[in-house]
Amino acid sequence: MLKIKNLQANIEDKEILKGINLEINPGEVHAIMGPNGSGKSTLSSVIAGKEEYTMTGGEILFEGEDLSELDPEERAHKGIFLSFQYPVEIPGVSVTNFMKASINAHRKAQGLADMPAKDLLKMIRDKSELLEIDRKFLSRSLNQGFSGGEKKRNEIFQMAMLNPKLAILDETDSGLDIDALKVVANGVNKLRSADNSVLLITHYQRLLDYIVPDFVHVMVDGKIVKSGTKELAYELEERGYDWVKPEKTV
Ligand code: ADP
Ligand code: MG
Ligand code: MG
């Protein structure tokens, strides 16, 4: 599904990604861990096509197609979902209306007409039941006064509605309380399927107690320095990151 070869990328002429190789097959959940500043968020942003980042080498193939010429919206319409690290508040726009707008924007990009209201409401009902989202939540103003857990719930709900082929969940360095963590984990576990893949970027070994990844990668200084299975996450929890860091050549 996703094949990254020797990816190099800069922010403002500063080299951040220094040759990343990563292959994600349908149905797999990959976790990327690593110390702060190692380039994890840069990797997710480059895959999603954010414009502040410049790819300086390598390739990103999604279902065999080179993504480099596509803007973030086009990538989203191909089935790549990137969770918002900083959700926007939209006073006066309800969660339901936001979901309608998201779905219809995707359909429009594929040359499809708006989804009939009846079908949309059924989909909203089905997905909100699956994720145990209550009705009151659906009529609230988007992100306004949402707790950390509610923001995550909204994000996972949007992910469920859009049903992406590849979901990239990049957790911010701070602020995920245990409720929010469980919302993310339950959602991801319920939405996991043989066709969809997840790239989970996290500082929290804790999250991996709830979402069991197929593969764990450690990123240090713009490179993946170690890959393994979930056991690697436990090892990192016990030993920290120093032992996986490559020798410093000063
Ligand atoms: P991580 O997600 O692993 O904490 P990031 O990808 O956010 O790492 O950051 C990698 C490096 O890029 C850090 O050294 C950070 O300071 C730098 N960086 C990130 N965003 C920007 C930006 N917008 N402008 C300049 N430098 C940035
Ligand atoms: Mg960071
Ligand atoms: Mg980050």
39 CA → ligand 1 middle, Å: 6
Query: Which ligand number lies closest to the CA of residue 172?
Result: 3
119 CA → ligand 3 middle, Å: 37
Contact 19, 223 (CB under 8 A): yes
- pLDDT at residue number 85: 65
pLDDT in tens, 6-21: 999 999 999 999 999 9
123 CA → ligand 2 middle, Å: 35
pTM of this structure: 0.92
- pLDDT at residue number 25: 98
Mutation to probe ligand 1, out of 41, 43, 203 (largest number of atoms < 8 A from CB): 41
- pLDDT at residue number 86: 66
107 CA → ligand 2 middle, Å: 34
- pLDDT at residue number 165: 96
pLDDT in tens, 180-236: 888 888 999 999 999 999 999 987 778 888 899 999 999 999 999 999 999 999 898
- pLDDT at residue number 188: 92
pLDDT in tens, 64-83: 999 999 999 999 999 999 98
Q: What residues have a C-beta under 5 A from ligand 2, the ion?
A: 36, 173
pLDDT at 237 over 90: no
With a Cβ cut-off of 6 Å, ligand 1 is lined by 11-12, 14, 16, 34, 36-42, 52
The structural domains of the chain, ordered by start, are 2-244 (3.40.50.300)
Name the band, by pLDDT with cuts 50, 70 and 90, for residue 244.
Answer: confident
